[in-house]
Structure 1
Amino acid sequence: MTEKKEHPSIGAFKEFVRKHPKLIAEVRKGDKKWQELYEDWYLLGENDTSWKKYQEVTAEEESADNTKVDFMSKMMTAVKSMDANQMNQHLYNMNNTISSIQNLFSTFGLTKGSSKNQSNPSNHPFSFRKD
Structure 2
Amino acid sequence: MNELVKGIIEGETRVLAASMTMEEIFKGTKEFKQEVFGKVQLELNQFGLWIYNANVKQLVDVPGHEYFSYLGQKTQMEAANQAKIDVSEAKMKGEVGAKLRNGQTLQNAAKIDAETRIISTQRQG
TM range (shorter): 0.3 to 0.5
Structure with higher Rg: it is: 1
Considering fraction of residues, name the structure with more helix: 2
When normalised by structure 1's length, the TM-score is 0.31
When normalised by structure 2's length, the TM-score is 0.32
